[in-house]
Amino acid sequence: MTEITPTGKSRRGFLNWFLGTAAGALAVAVFYPVLRFVSPPEVPEASTNQVEAGPTNDPELLEKGFKIVRFGADPVILVRLSDTEFRAFAGTCTHLDCIVEFHKDKQRIWCNCHNGDYNLQGQVVAGPPPKPLEPFKVDLVAKGSGQPKTIVVSRA
Amino acid sequence: MKTLARNVRAWFDDRLPVAEAQDFATHKTVPTHRFSVFYYLGGMTMFFFVIQVVTGILLMLYYRPSADGAFESVEFIMTVVPFGWLIRSIHSWSANLMVFFAFVHLATVYFTKSYRKPREITWVTGCILLFIAMAFGFSGYLLPWNQLAFFATKVGTDIAGAIPIVGEWTLRFLRGGDRVTGGTLSRFFGWHVAILPAITAVLLGIHLLLVQIQGMSVPPKQKDEAAGKRPMKFFPDFATRDLWGWILALGVLAAIAALFPWELGEKADPFAPAYKDIRPEWYFMFMFETLKLVPGGEIFHVEYEAIPILLFSLGGLLLVLVPFLDRKVNRTGESPLFTFIGILALVYIVGMTAWGYRSLTPFFIVIGTVLLMFLLSLATRHDAGPAEGQGEGQSEGRES
């Protein structure tokens, strides 16, 4: 600490330091809560491990060959290859988060945003996506005699 | 570094009248006399307005204006978002302090006759800004969608329905239908965050510009006193005091907001009986209480209830028109009649507010405010010595 001399030189220095520190503290006291406020709090989500995706003869599946299933808060694309064969992948394109669709005629999973092109293993065939689509497990569960089986999608 | 600053300055100098603005700022002065402390009140009101804008924008990041989501989103802000309780509490408290200081500002301008020529437009825009502040309060009150807000809005908008001829249209316009519903909430939200701020921006711009152009008014009775004293420089003397005031206000605001967090109450239920203590914000209390005294019934197909509503509207209109009604003050510098009317109105407003709360607190607040003004006038005192004859305030130079 500098001694305060009658010349006032270091007194001014002290006051400047004092005011500057006070102003800095005030700024922190204002901006810290604001910064914390604008950062969205973590909201705990119920973790989903498996969902039922309807019967195997779902008309939407029969017509378009695919449907988007709600897997917790995330979309999953369910693709119908035949009466007994189904596949599921994460429904969001690995490029920029758009939701993909299935082109029945070409047998490809396709993203309309930037022409991301995936095959039926979820691997990138063409376009900008950097990674393959994450695969999900599909099981067909019998519900009762004479009734179509239920498709169950779960984490692989 | 210095050359960079100089180059930037030169760049702006080539394009804008920076030198003129700087010249204006360095020569701007504020008259000094015993009521100089009143000159800080508009700035104080504006400080709370700025707090409202900042915290309001922050709240909008999480708020959802729907009957299904509004209450829950405010609950989320208050319980989950870090410092959300503080931001909301500050928004509510600062709103009340803003209206309070707007009232004090109005009262001091009124009683010192500062509305007289050439400041009529400043007065008119100021009055409208006060009404807008009240509309901000009324519309913001509903947004948390709690029981108190729901019933206060029902009552408040129903009052508008009693106005002859245009009442029904006004009621439906305010509510966005026949009832107070989620539709009303959307509407009030729109008013609160878009329409009112837009009007405020324009009016406040005019109000502040006029204050800059015309300078501060010296009360007629303080003319001699101010002429005998050297005016205060705006930079740095007045601005520093302004700044200290705002820092003090921020500290007090943060303390009240933290120690007395604003409550949320229960979610609005259109099918639950009204609370025992359904009441509007304090600044509507005197009107609310007056309406309670009016008996039911009608005269010439006009409900009795409409009479005080029309009288209050007329009062508001007369308030706006004061500079045009008070002709005497421009000639003689005195208008005891208007001072008397002002005191009468103040006694009525404070009295009815006290009656409404069944409490003497409003009187204590008025006394406290007067004491506070006195203390602050000591704290902001500026003894620059006697005037040098030529060094008159530019603000006054324009008035004569």
pLDDT tens-place values along chain B, 400 residues long: 789 999 999 999 999 999 999 999 999 999 999 999 999 999 999 999 999 999 999 999 999 999 999 999 999 999 999 999 999 999 999 999 999 999 999 999 999 999 999 999 999 999 999 999 999 999 999 999 999 999 999 999 998 888 888 989 999 999 999 999 999 999 999 999 999 999 999 999 999 999 999 999 999 989 998 888 889 999 889 999 999 999 999 999 999 999 999 989 999 998 888 877 778 899 999 999 999 888 888 777 778 888 899 999 999 999 999 999 999 999 998 899 999 999 999 999 999 999 999 999 999 999 999 999 999 988 888 776 666 544 444 444 444 3
Assess whether A17 and A58 both reside in one domain.
Answer: no
Task: Please compute the mean of the pLDDT values over residues A66-87 and round it to a whole number.
Answer: 92
Q: Is B247 on the interface with A (CB under 8 A)?
A: yes
CB contact under 8 A, A43 and B82: no
CB contact under 8 A, A34 and B58: yes
Assess whether A37 and A82 both reside in one domain.
Answer: no
Q: What is the pLDDT of residue B385?
A: 62
- Domain range holding A5? 1-42
What's B236's DSSP letter? I
Map residue A97 onto helix, strand or coil: coil
Assess whether A54 and A114 both reside in one domain.
Answer: yes
What's B325's DSSP letter? H
Domain containing residue A64: CATH number: 2.102.10.10
**Interface-testing mutation among A36, A37, A39, A43, with chain B (most B C-beta atoms within 10 A):** A37
**Which chain B positions have a beta carbon within 8 Å of A26's beta carbon?**
247, 250
Assess whether A90 and A132 both reside in one domain.
Answer: yes
Question: What are the CA-CA distances from residue B303 to residues A62, B165, B285, B288, B306 (Å)?
Answer: 67, 12, 21, 16, 5
Assess whether A36 and A58 both reside in one domain.
Answer: no
Say how many domains are in chain A. 2
- Contacts of residue B278, defined as CB under 8 A and 6 or more positions apart, other chains included, come to B148, B151, B152, B155
Q: What is the pLDDT of residue B392?
A: 42
Assess whether A121 and A102 both reside in one domain.
Answer: yes
CB contact under 8 A, A37 and B247: no
Q: Is A39 on the interface with B (CB under 8 A)?
A: yes
Assess whether A75 and A139 both reside in one domain.
Answer: yes
Task: Please compute the mean of the pLDDT values over residues A35-58 and round it to a whole number.
Answer: 89
Of A100 and A145, the one with more pLDDT: A100
Length of chain B: 400
Assess whether A103 and A126 both reside in one domain.
Answer: yes
Q: What is the pLDDT of residue B212?
A: 93
Assess whether A24 and A8 both reside in one domain.
Answer: yes
Among B82, B250, B254, the residue with its CB nearest the CB of A36 is B82
Q: What is the pLDDT of residue B275?
A: 78
Of A4 and A95, the one with more pLDDT: A95
Assess whether A9 and A86 both reside in one domain.
Answer: no
Q: Is B243 on the interface with A (CB under 8 A)?
A: no
E strand intervals along B249-352: 298-299, 302-303
Assess whether A110 and A147 both reside in one domain.
Answer: yes
Assess whether A93 and A134 both reside in one domain.
Answer: yes
Give A31 to chain B, closest Cα distance, Å.
11
Q: pTM for this one?
A: 0.89
Q: What is the pLDDT of residue B160?
A: 87
A43, closest residue in chain B (CA to CA) = B80
Walk me through the domains of chain B, giving residue ranges and CATH numbers. Answer: 32-217+235-268+276-382 (1.20.810.10)
pLDDT over 90 (residue A109): yes
Map residue B262 onto helix, strand or coil: coil
* Nearest of A81, A74, A134 to residue A108 by alpha carbon: A81
**Which chain A positions have a beta carbon within 8 Å of B85's beta carbon?**
none
